[in-house]
């Protein structure tokens, strides 16, 4: 399909630097098509969505559609990943969690609106282009995809700002605060500017840098305690108050943010082959992952837990690499659900200056027996261990006898 034939485009729109200038760029370079801006509400907060419709229409969109995707992202993607303890290297997958549901919704809206193409603002260097486009291919196969970063002559975010100023596109950032950020209910990422040099220490206490909380140094001197209740691996309550999972994350974000929890500075291996440095804020998610891991310790048997840790790497890779909508995901998610059927109970955590410290846990399905493990008197017959060791060590014994010529 030629540029002239494209009459209607659905644009993944956040109102950030990239997508803000794409609207006038598409108008100029694609024969003035109708542009429908689509913003996915993935819990980035009202501040990120305020004024978005006015801005989109003012810069050339025919309308803005805001799709509420918070609970779909949480219930369908984050909770299964939590059950699997999926983590990419040391990254809790914040951006990767949101992209599949946004990509799916873009495809659905494009089909419903009779669009000729879907456009996004992902760079040709990153992971998100893959995540979006694989979701689009799954739900709108054959749909034309426009990725301006792979077409235009703009080379940097500085040049993007130049383009915005020349086309009177309002921006919330300046050249000095031009970090590349991505925010949703689960996390906030920071990339670019001084962070591109890994020898630079992030200025966590600089006003406006951290948005979801404070640095550990600025956290209170008094710890905060919180008890999280789980049923079959999914969080269901905080301090005895039942609430849906998205609200639990929201509440833990507040508690964790206030105590400097979940701030990491990492260099990760991108799918396309380069290393990338980023600072991530994931306060609530960090607490949830740690609490879930604690409860698994007393409710999941050794063999299942050890296999689960291996599969968690594959699950995280699958999410990170954009293959959420795949048969492998469905199979691994089934394993995650089955392996968590006894992960029910309460976990108490102490939050203190960036640390998430276990402070006790209980479960009606606990495999832990104080009677068996105690250093005091118990029902366990210690003489039984001799026969176990003889059988367990039999291959070692046979090997030694062979080496000594005694077989």
Q: Which of 99, 131, 157, 290 is catalytic?
A: 99
Alpha helix positions (H), 114-219: 128-139, 157-166
Please indicate whether residue 131 is annotated as part of the active site. Answer: no
Answer for the pair 290, 97: CB distance below 8 angstroms, yes or no.
no
Q: How many CA atoms lie within 13 A of 7 on its CB side?
A: 3
Residues comprising the chain, all counted? 407
- The whole-angstrom separation of Cα 128 and Cα 140 is 17
Please indicate whether residue 150 is annotated as part of the active site. Answer: no
Structure tokens at 151: 């077409």
- The whole-angstrom separation of Cα 19 and Cα 56 is 9
- The whole-angstrom separation of Cα 282 and Cα 308 is 23
Residue 178 to residues 49, 119, 153, 173, 384, Cα–Cα distance (Å): 19, 23, 20, 6, 66
Please indicate whether residue 246 is annotated as part of the active site. Answer: no
Answer for the pair 101, 73: CB distance below 8 angstroms, yes or no.
yes
Residue 235 DSSP code: E
- Unique residue bearing structure tokens 């003489």: 383
Q: Which helix (H) or strand (E) holds 84?
A: helix 79-84
Q: Which of 18, 85, 116, 182 is catalytic?
A: 18
Structure tokens at 363: 């479960």
Q: Which of 20, 85, 131, 180 is catalytic?
A: 180
- The whole-angstrom separation of Cα 326 and Cα 201 is 39
With 0-12 CB in 10 A as exposed, 13-18 as middle and 19+ as buried, what is 166? Answer: exposed
Q: Which of 116, 128, 157, 246 is catalytic?
A: 128
What strands, in cross-sheet order, belong to the sheet with 275-281? 180-183, 188-191, 275-281, 263-269
Residue 394 DSSP code: H
Residue 38 φ then ψ, to 5°: -125, 120
**Strand extents, DSSP E, 22-124:** 34-41, 63-68, 117-119
Please indicate whether residue 128 is annotated as part of the active site. Answer: yes
What is the set of active-site residues?
Answer: 18, 99, 128, 180
């Amino acid at each position: 399909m030629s540029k002239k034939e494209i009459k209607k485009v659905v644009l993944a729109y956040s109102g950030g630097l990239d997508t803000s200038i794409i609207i006038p760029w598409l108008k100029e370079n694609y024969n003035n098509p109708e542009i429908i801006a689509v913003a996915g509400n993935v819990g980035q907060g009202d501040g990120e969505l305020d004024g978005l419709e006015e801005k989109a229409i003012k810069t050339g969109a025919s309308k803005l559609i805001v799709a509420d995707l918070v609970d779909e992202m949480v219930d369908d993607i984050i909770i299964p990943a939590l059950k699997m303890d999926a983590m990419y290297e040391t990254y809790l997958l914040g951006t990767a969690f949101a992209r599949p549901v946004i990509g799916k919704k873009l495809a659905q809206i494009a089909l419903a609106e009779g669009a000729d193409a879907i456009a996004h603002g992902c760079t040709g260097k990153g992971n998100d282009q893959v995540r979006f486009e694989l979701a689009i291919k799954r739900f709108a196969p054959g749909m034309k995809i426009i990725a301006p970063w792979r077409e235009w002559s703009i080379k940097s975010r500085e040049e993007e700002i130049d383009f915005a100023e020349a086309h009177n596109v309002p921006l919330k950032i300046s050249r000095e605060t031009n970090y590349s950020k991505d925010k949703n209910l689960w996390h906030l990422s920071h990339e670019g500017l001084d962070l591109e040099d890994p020898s630079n220490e992030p200025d966590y206490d600089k006003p406006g840098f951290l948005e979801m909380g404070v640095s550990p140094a600025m956290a209170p001197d008094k710890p905060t305690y919180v008890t999280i209740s789980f049923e079959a691996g999914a969080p269901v309550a905080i301090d005895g108050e039942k609430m849906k999972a998205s609200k639990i994350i929201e509440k833990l974000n507040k508690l964790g943010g206030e105590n400097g929890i979940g701030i990491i500075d990492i260099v990760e291996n991108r799918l396309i082959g380069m290393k990338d440095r980023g600072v991530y804020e994931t306060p609530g998610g960090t607490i949830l992952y740690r609490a879930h891991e604690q409860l698994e310790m007393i409710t999941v048997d050794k063999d299942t837990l050890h296999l689960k840790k291996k599969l968690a790497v594959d699950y995280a890779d699958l999410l990170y690499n954009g293959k959420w909508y795949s048969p492998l995901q469905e199979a691994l998610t089934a394993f995650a659900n089955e392996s968590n059927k006894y992960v029910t109970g309460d976990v108490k955590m102490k939050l203190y200056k960036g640390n998430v410290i276990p402070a006790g846990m209980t479960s009606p399905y606990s495999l832990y027996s104080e009677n068996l493990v105690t250093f005091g008197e118990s029902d366990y017959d210690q003489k039984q261990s001799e026969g176990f060791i003889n059988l367990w060590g039999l291959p070692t014994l046979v090997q030694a006898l062979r080496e000594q010529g005694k077989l």
